[in-house]
């Protein structure tokens, strides 16, 4: 499982004319799910998303997590995080979990975040839709997470 985490002052997801998810200060998380991902991968990424200390406090920089600071999370499913570009010019997405299984996996991931933190502070995009993601990256701070790269 992969995630790209961005610290934001605001972020939103629009589908057509509708805003389907919107947050103020917090993190925007692009979530990629591979065919081989398991509950362990999901739990690893959830712990990182909730626990990484990427926010400043009065006592210094990089002292608080999104959970510590009681901020919001916007999760967006992003199968293209598993795009391979080594051969040719067309990305290969065969490593990404197929949509019939990944929809449930993504929903389970969001539910795990909600149970571990605060469901009311978590927004999502619309799974499988063509989405426009708008955000203001704060810092900028952008981190790549991969449950299969533990070093």
Residues marked as catalytic: 78-80
Nearest to 3 by CA among 15, 135, 37, 23: 37
**Residue 70: DSSP 8-state:** T
> What's the distance, Cα to Cα, between the start and end of the chain in Å?
15
Tokens of 67: 């959970």
CA distance 1 to 105: 10
Is residue 17 within 8 Å of residue 64, measured between CB atoms? Answer: no
Q: Single out the residue of 78, 55, 64, 76 nearest to residue 123, CA to CA.
A: 76
Helix axes 99-116, 39-51, angle to 10 degrees: 40
């Amino acid at each position: 499982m992969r995630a790209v985490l961005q610290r934001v002052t605001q972020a939103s997801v629009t589908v057509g004319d509708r805003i389907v998810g919107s947050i103020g200060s917090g993190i925007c998380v692009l979530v990629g799910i591979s065919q081989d991902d398991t509950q362990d991968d999901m739990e690893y990424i959830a712990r990182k998303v909730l626990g990484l200390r990427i926010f400043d406090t009065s006592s210094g920089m990089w002292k608080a997590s999104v959970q510590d600071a009681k901020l919001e999370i916007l999760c967006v499913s992003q199968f293209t995080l598993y795009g391979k570009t080594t051969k040719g010019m067309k990305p290969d997405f065969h490593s990404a979990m197929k949509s019939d299984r990944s929809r449930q996996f993504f929903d389970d991931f969001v539910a795990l975040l909600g149970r571990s933190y605060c469901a009311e502070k978590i927004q999502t995009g619309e799974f499988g839709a063509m989405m426009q993601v708008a955000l203001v990256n704060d810092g900028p701070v952008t981190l790549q997470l991969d449950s299969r790269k533990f070093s």
